[in-house]
Structure 1
């Protein structure tokens, strides 16, 4: 019999948890996971347990930020003057703003 796979704290995670989400919510979750630098499992567990998620600046995080900012820029160009900005887009902008602010504080 093979050895049980445990995390770095010796916990054997034998229970599976799943939930349903909309395609937009899944995209937002994937983006947040990319920026965190954690695995999706670790990110969801820390988020649900209200534990802090520390993001360290690295090339993967930088690339994810640049890619998302380009998408936001394209969306803002698409929006006509006077139109309302989508709530999901505003949430993404807020998340990136907070992340960049946190990264600036750490690097100062």
Structure 2
């Protein structure tokens, strides 16, 4: 049995919600979760409830971003060789841009 959880409003999280995704959707979801620095549960809950997903800067997030940049670079090279652009790549680039813009704003006020 899993441990009981409380949400940010001190309410018990005792309901389970499950759904199916394709392998490609799972890969994209995992990438977004890693880049956000949130748990998968918190990331999905925030997205489903139309709340802002704010990346939590830490070494794991920076590593996930670095890995994702490498993956995007590989895809861009593939595209340059004549292949097409898929929607998942564009979504990933948009999410990475949002994170980087947020880091830029944090850095501007932090200096």
Q: What TM-score, normalized to structure 1?
A: 0.85
Counterparts of 1:14 and 1:56, CA distance in 2: 25
| Equivalence for 1:34 | 34
1:44-85, Cα deviation, whole Å (9 max, x unpaired): 111111122221322111100000111111121122455421
Query: Considering only CA atoms, is the larger Rg found in Structure 1 or Structure 2?
Result: 1
In structure 2, distance between residues paired with 1:26 and 1:13: 23
Paired positions, count: 105
Q: Which runs of 5+ in 2 are unaligned?
A: none
Q: Deviations over 1:1-36 (max 9, x none)?
A: xxx723154322221101111111111111111112
Conserved? CA contact 2:35–2:64, under 8 Å:
yes
Secondary structure of the equivalent of 2:53?
coil
Aligned residue for 1:47?
47
Structure 2 residue matching 1:16: 3-state secondary structure: coil
2:67 alignment partner, SS class: helix
Residue aligning to 2:78 = 78
Q: Secondary structure at the match of 2:63?
A: helix
Measured in 2, the distance between the counterparts of 1:79 and 1:53 equals: 29
Mapped partners of 1:82, 1:20: distance in 2 = 33
The CA RMSD over aligned residues, in Å, is: 1.7
Find the counterpart in structure 2 of residue 13 from structure 1. Answer: 13
Deviates further, 73-82 or 55-64: 73-82
Alignment TM-score, normalising by the size of structure 2: 0.83
Q: Residue 37 of structure 2 contacts residue 57 of structure 2 at CA under 8 Å; is this kept in 1?
A: no
